[in-house]
Amino acid sequence: MTDFAATREKFHMPEGVVYLDGNSLGPLPKNAMARARSVIEAEWGEMLIRAWNEAGWMEQPRRVGDKVARLIGAAPGTVVIGDTLSVKVYQALASALEMRPDRRVVVSDSGNFPTDLYMADGLLRSLGRGHELKVVEPEAVADAIDSSVAAIMLTQVDYRTGRMHDMAALTKRAHAAGALAIWDLAHSAGAVPIDLAGCEADFAIGCTYKYLNGGPGAPAFIYVRPDLVGQARPALSGWLGHNAPFAFDLDYRPAADISRMRVGTPPVVQVSILEAALEAWDGVDMADVRRRSIELSELFIREVEARCPQLVLGSPREAQARGSQVSFRFEHGYAAMQALIARGVIGDFRAPDTMRFGFTPLYLGEAEVMKAVDILAEVIGGRLWDRPEYHRKAAVT
Ligand SMILES: *Cc1c(COP(=O)(O)O)cnc(C)c1O
């Protein structure tokens, strides 16, 4: 049984804040501060370049990848950390397309995060071989998979509504049609139990600054099915993905395993912080996290619907069809969210009218959820959002 009172103690939370945005940027794990200090002072400062060996900087992306692997149902040695998620989308899709040279269609859906679609579009244009990015409604994905499809490229949990795809069923469907399945786990890793190996996903990618609390700009992760990794030619053939980077060969030869998805020098300070942040997951069972997340989300939905009739649930009502976030639609959602944030309840807003709230059992309980609902009910019921300063749009929403 996961001890959520203990995990809560591992995070710094500013006084008076109810943080319902850990799905966008996780809070600061207390040990990350000490780790950042030691990597800068004791390792960089004192060891200098020797730290690549002596502090294990070179292996770190694999070592940290193993910690992520446990949380996403992947075997050790199948996940590596690096770059940003946008870059990892490109890598996964480029490798997948080469493995299906006779097929020209990539299927994604309109609930995908735009950067995934942008990166795919950019890659397909660069290839210049007539590939098509077919973006259908989330409910229409299964029917769009046919023998023309090289790969499906989907984000499991919709960033706006929290709607969750059935990863096992769609992967199976893709395989039956001879296509590969690429899953973006940005809103899944650390949010819901995932069984990557069990559902035989071919590629998976995700970021680590959301539910995994790696901090702003924390690098992404990539998984390749172990029996396919030897065939996955890295499109971004950087030297650290080489079989022997320090042989300095003039010819590129990829590493035999997931290390081939490394590109260049890792952001050591950031990976170190992530490594520390992932310690919060030691002893945590994702099934317990899921159970708590559903309890908190259901409580929130029930209370908001009872007390804020102006808000319309934008997430699936059925808990099993959602990830770990809840969205409500409200015409004045942006201003309402600003008014909430001004009162210490931090969620976020996604255009055109979605107020988004993330539920993260590692550091949230019923008391925070009820406090958030109380304040939301005041803001909505009293039209407290209707002030000029709450209508001014900031760059990041
Ligand atoms: C958060 C998110 C991203 C962000 O990509 P970065 O390259 O890390 O900025 C991409 N895709 C999805 C699905 C996301 O949720």
Residue nearest to atom 1 of ligand 1 (CA): 186
The CATH architecture one would assign to domain 33-281 is 3-Layer(aba) Sandwich (3.40)
Tokens of 376: 């939301």
Burial of 81-114, coded b for 16+ CB within 10 Å and e otherwise, reads bbbbbbbbbbbbbbbbbebbeebbbbbbbebbbe
Q: What one-character DSSP code corresponds to residue 393?
A: P
Phi, psi of 100, rounded to the nearest 5 degrees: -130, 65
Residue nearest to atom 3 of ligand 1 (CA): 85
Overall average pLDDT of the 105-128 stretch: 98
Cis ω for the linkage preceding 316 (within 30 of 0):
no
Given this chain, do its domains 4-29+285-391 and 33-281 carry the same CATH topology? no
Q: Which atom of ligand 1 is nearest to the CA of 113?
A: 13
Residue nearest to atom 2 of ligand 1 (CA): 186
Phi, psi of 132, rounded to the nearest 5 degrees: -125, 135
Respond yes or no: is residue 334 known to be catalytic: no
What pLDDT is recorded for position 396? 85
Q: Domain limits of the chain?
A: 4-29+285-391, 33-281
* Ligand 1 contact via 38 beta carbon (within 6 Å): no
Overall average pLDDT of the 19-48 stretch: 98
Phi, psi of 315, rounded to the nearest 5 degrees: -100, 160
* Ligand 1 contact via 116 beta carbon (within 6 Å): yes
CA distance 71 to 57: 22
Respond yes or no: is residue 251 known to be catalytic: no
CA distances from 142 to 103, 136, 149, 171, 374 (A): 17, 10, 12, 10, 41
Q: Number of helices (H) and strands (E) in the chain: give both, helices first.
A: 13, 13
* Ligand 1 contact via 60 beta carbon (within 6 Å): no
CA distance 225 to 230: 10
Tokens of 107: 């299927």
Respond yes or no: is residue 356 known to be catalytic: yes
Residue among 62, 159, 356, 390 flagged as catalytic? 356
Tokens of 189: 């890793």
* Ligand 1 contact via 277 beta carbon (within 6 Å): no
Overall average pLDDT of the 9-25 stretch: 97
User: Strand 149-155 to strand 105-109: parallel, antiparallel, or no bridges (unpaired)?
Assistant: parallel
What pLDDT is recorded for position 45? 98
Overall average pLDDT of the 81-90 stretch: 98
* Ligand 1 contact via 23 beta carbon (within 6 Å): no
What pLDDT is recorded for position 30? 97
H/E element, 206? strand 203-206
Options 3.90.1150.10, 3.40.30.10, 3.40.47.10, 3.30.1600.10; CATH of 4-29+285-391: 3.90.1150.10
Percentage, residues of the chain above pLDDT 90: 99
* Ligand 1 contact via 184 beta carbon (within 6 Å): yes
Query: For the chain, how many residues are written?
Result: 397
